[in-house]
Chains A and B, each alone.
Chain A
Amino acid sequence: MRRRSLGSLATVALVAAAFASGVTPARAQVSVSSPYLDIVNRYQSGDQAKAVADMAAYPTAKLSERARKDLRDLTCQVLCGTADCRRARSEKPEEFERVLEAWGASLPAAAALHVDTAIQAQAEDRRDVAEAHRVLALELVDLMEQELAPSTGGSPITRPRITDGPAFSGPTQIGPDTRIARRAQASQLITLLSVWLLQLRGDLAQIQAPLARAQQRFPQDPLVALALGSLHEANAAPNALVEASVGRQGNLEKWRQEERAFRLEQALAAYRQATTLDPTLAEAHLRIGHVLLLTGKVDEADAAFARASAETGDKRWRYLAEMLRADAADARGDRPGARQRYQAALAAWPDAQSPVLALSRIDASSGEWTEAQARLAALSPRTGGRAEDPWWAYGFGQAWRIDAGLTTLRRLVVR
């Protein structure tokens, strides 16, 4: 089977220099083929939609094993004449350099393809498929870190020191070696996308592992701090606490109160860390305000919302800041102030539904029933069906970043 795959090498290129595109002159191309690698190659070539569709249709049984064999062992077999990578590393160091170079290109692309496929499968409600690809993407990131680590005798590719400083800590920052930096970026984005996918699914229990990994590898990334804060905030939600208390003994109400206080404290600390890492991060300021609002600290919350609004030109955060400031005003009994801010929110995001409902509530509270009911016209299928509201995504952490993250990742790994 392998021999037959190797026999049709001509069209499939797993290109060693691909990931270094535009940085260093490409070395001789190496072609390795298999049905699995064909899909990875297609992804690298820029036909990403087709590659994702093909990968989503690929059997998930033993997928991890197939990926490792084809990506790792097959490359080694072709370039060093043996699939035993450890042996190749020690016995054929020169050839093995080319293996490392090939892996440097193929592993990030394959990991990106798998997280991309996971997101697509999740969108189609194919949860099992999504989970298989999400897990495999992280396995490949691990493999990448493990295999591309410097050997005792030195390695042609310097191990990125991502924990030492800010050089590799943010998705927009590029380190001294662009090639390594891009690989680190890919690794970082794949890990974050995995976390965001779990946020989207509301799978709080599963988030911990990839998040811990991200914290360890990218401690300077404010997005990691944001995700950690969001996990704590989600775990502090009443429904999550009820679920978490199932099977516990003793005073459950007391446990829930204590757990909630602890979680909110942790969330606040993580969001504050995010603002320390990036003081201009409007989302972190906004989430700080929301946690403060959850704890009844209305005035402090309002200040945080004002800061969020001041830090951004992005209408998403301006809208949410206005909404939450309106809620804070309402909670203080300032009904005119609340009304004004809800209207400002609606101006910032005209398709939003939450301010319409909030205004109907204020109308009803003021005895303006006709006005309150008239607002429901905005909820008809014609208008309500088109509604988009950033508030709806608030409870799903940073999942709203998936599309942008995926676009960056695709660009990063394309040949």
Chain B
Amino acid sequence: MSTQLKPGQGPLEYARRPWIIALFALVLLFLYAPIASLIVFSFNVDKSGVWHGFTFMNYIKAWHNEAIFYALTNSLTIAVLSTVVSTVLGATTALALWRFKFPFRDAYEGFMALPIVVPEICMGISLAMFFSYTGMMAGVRDWVWPFNLINIMFAHIAFCFPFVAVVVRARLQGFNRQLEEASKDLGATELQTFINVLVPFMVPSLVAGGLLAFTLSLDDFVITLFSSGPGSITFPVKIYGMVKRGVDMQINAASTVLIVITLAATLLAMKLQAPDKAGH
């Protein structure tokens, strides 16, 4: 074999094939151009699709637009509270499935995975019916904020915590149970062992699972649309209403804020997890 291989022609150098590089670039353009355009036009002076000059006016207007501000606050509050509960429920469920043999274990496990696969719209309408039949839809309407959002939180927790459970369980698979035995041999109680041995081991998965729950909750539109009564509006539901009435640069401004919040949270959590990866 005397022919010299050119760079990118090596048999396994797929990452350097020109056509793959071109495809990669095109896909990135396809993925990011719409979002970039949305952010750029949030600074446009008018609401046409044509660039007419730079302004912060849309942000100021969106900030003073009570409905948008209220919806965004609702979304963030729901996301934070649902994340806390989902993380606890997800962790306990994962621990139960990881540690114990019990009757109907497979059925329990299967039901826990159902919200992950059932179409959102089906879960949304079943909850809508449930809330209106039980009177919860009308019942919580006049409760003091944030309790008037409690139906949405119940719904969000129901579809978020199974995801947390999956993440935590994957981490628990790598736990050496002899550590637990050692702790108990040294005189620690069940609870002490749990808090000092098992929980520190679970932390990275609790952060990752919690972050996933936060994003899922903030992101959810379909289930929220059905389980929210009149008056308790979240950010995606508000945007949906505005999009139906046409393009408005205030949507772009508020969306940009939400994109920044979500991406910051994602990158932060990835950074938090990074030292752990290096340690193992």
Check if A and B associate: no
A residues sitting closer than 8 Å to B (CB atoms) are: none
- Interface residues of chain B, those whose CB is within 8 Å of chain A, are none
